[in-house]
Amino acid sequence: MLSRKSALSASSGIWMKSLGHLVVLASLCCLISGYSERDRVHDLMSKYPLIDGHNDLALQLRIRHNNRLSQVDLHNVSKVATDITRLQAGHVQAQMFAVYVMCGAQEKDAVRLTLEQIDVIRRMCTEYQDFELVTSAQELRNSEMRHKIACLISIEGGHSIDSSLPALRMFYQLGVRSMALTHSCNTPWAESSSKLYNVYQRQNNSLTHFGKAVVEEMNRLGMIVDLSHTSWDTAWAALKHSKAPVIFSHSSSFSICSHGRNVPDWLLLDLKKKHGLIMVNLHNNFISCSDDANISRVADHFDHIKKVIGAESIGIGGDFEGAVSFPQGLEDVSKYPALIQELLQRNWTESELADVLRKNFLRVFEEVERVRDRMTLSRPSEVQISFEEVQNPCRLVLRRPVPRGPSHQSPFSRAPHEPKGLPILAIVLLLSSLLMIE
């Protein structure tokens, strides 16, 4: 039997011990809960890996390596924010890779440059086992089961088609499944949000007759209409005209940061009516309207857009490689889990986040495909832009020779300072040889 004294000291010993245990337990709990929060994000993102709307890696390959893919190992690329290792760490399962051609190429060699950017993305996504080029929602789903990173090709800027629906169709044949109607320059048929380039200024800012034909042809082909970079008037007109849902592949909320590249609430409401999608851009200038931003500010955009149009209308379009500054904690493609963790802490449900991560995009892509399937009886559009709208020295108009005699010479058969027809022939040849590889 223990004496009273020894019993007391024993119990105080036990008490001290339990206190010690408690402290250990408490810190363990912290550790565990810290881990479990991250685990929860990783579990969620493993189940619903991200489909990201916009990445400019191909532009960096052009700038840094002149598209010589052999000079880089895409598993580990220095000085950029995107490589295979970090895409995998960030649970990025699908990436829309932008085919971006500088606006300065409009009326010049935009079509050639576009082909070259498509080529480098196709090479990247076929020469690396971790990537897989996909062209349909079903292929995208399959690629996830094969643990591949799916590549989708999207053209960033309507100047890439040089106002030609046949060129648009050929880009579709090469695997392009989305196109932004403009980049920073107006096209002859659509207006940009930027006033950087003083080209094709017009009184009426909505889509022209030919612009509407572009949207219709994209609907018929099953190409997603992307409204990032267009003016709000053009976005509104395209939204109204499109038979299929449209997206903003990399734009944020104008209410949170009043930048012209962001989307105002009234336009978000139209987007929702069309069952479309806004994929939030992470670039500091669009997040905080300054060079500095943090994850909390990014989450404010998500909260606001959810309040206005619901989580079913939101996705993520990081814009890595297309911009220079990104929020602290979101510096590269491996950091997406930090954003999802912030949204979980703000009481976003797992089901809402599954929508944002991938289900919304898949829904939109499948709806775009359904609209295409409903239009199978429509013939390829033969709408042509009028010569007056695209009059420029580089444009050669091929016509049947007219009978001799100056009075019969058609004024529209040739552009004013006609260059050789070789560039166009070369493009036609290049396109047809590419198609034969296909």
Ligand X SMILES: *[C@@H]1O[C@H](CO)[C@@H](O)[C@H](O)[C@H]1NC(C)=O
Catalytic positions: 54, 56, 156, 183, 229, 250, 319
Query: Where do contacts with ligand X occur on this chain (CB under 6 A)?
Result: 76, 78, 85, 203-204, 206, 288, 294, 296-297
Partners of 131 in the beta sheet? 149
CB of 352 to ligand X, least distance (A): 22
Q: Which is nearer to ligand X, 164 or 294 (CB)?
A: 294
Give least dist CB 196 to ligand X, A. Answer: 22
What is the rounded distance in angstroms from the CA atom of residue 28 to the CA atom of residue 34?
10
Selection from Zn ion, ligand X, none that 294 binds (CB < 5 to 8 A by kind) is ligand X
Query: Can you tell me the distance from the alpha carbon of 362 to that of 343, in angstroms, rounded to the nearest whole number?
Result: 21
Please give the single-letter amino acid code of residue 35: Y
Report CA-CA distances (Å) from 245 to 97, 371, 431.
20, 9, 29
Nearer to ligand X, 203 or 376 (CB): 203
- How big is the chain by its Cα radius of gyration, in Å? 26
Cβ closest to ligand X, residue 27 vs residue 296: 296
The smaller minimum CB distance to ligand X, of residues 85 and 325, is found at 85
To ligand X, the closest distance from the beta carbon of 291 in angstroms equals: 11
- Identify which of residues 27 and 76 has a Cβ nearer to ligand X in the complex: 76
Q: What is the C-alpha separation between 267 and 413, in angstroms, rounded?
A: 42
In the complex with ligand X, the residue whose CB is nearer, 195 or 399, is 195
Contact between residue 312 and residue 358 where contact means Cβ atoms under 8 Å apart: no
What does 297 bind: ligand X, Zn ion, none (CB cut-off 5 to 8 Å by kind)?
ligand X
| Interface with Zn ion in residues 303-332 (CB under 5 A) | 322
Going residue by residue from 247 to 266, which x/- string records binding to Zn ion, judged by CB under 5 A?
A: --------------------
Beta strands in 31-161 (DSSP E): 50-55, 92-100, 131-133, 149-156
The least CB distance from residue 142 to ligand X, in Å, is 28
Name the minimum Å distance from CB 322 to Zn ion: 5
- Would strands 314-316 and 131-133 be described as parallel, antiparallel, or unpaired? unpaired
Among ligand X, Zn ion, none, the one that 211 touches (CB under a kind-dependent 5 to 8 A) is none
Q: What is the spatial distance between Cα 187 and Cα 160, in angstroms, rounded to a whole number?
A: 10
136: nearest Cα among 148, 147, 152, 119: 152
Token pair recorded at residue 336? 């997406």
| Chain residue whose CB lies nearest Zn ion | 322
Instruction: Report how far residue 168's alpha carbon sits from residue 158's, in angstroms, rounded to the nearest whole number.
Output: 9
Secondary structure class of 390 (helix, strand, coil): helix
Count of residues engaged in binding Zn ion, rule: CB under 5 A: 1
Distance CA(220)–CA(372), nearest Å, equals 5
204 contact choice in ligand X, Zn ion, none (CB below 5 to 8 Å, kind-dependent)? ligand X
CB of 393 to ligand X, least distance (A): 30
Q: Which residues bind Zn ion (CB under 5 A)?
A: 322
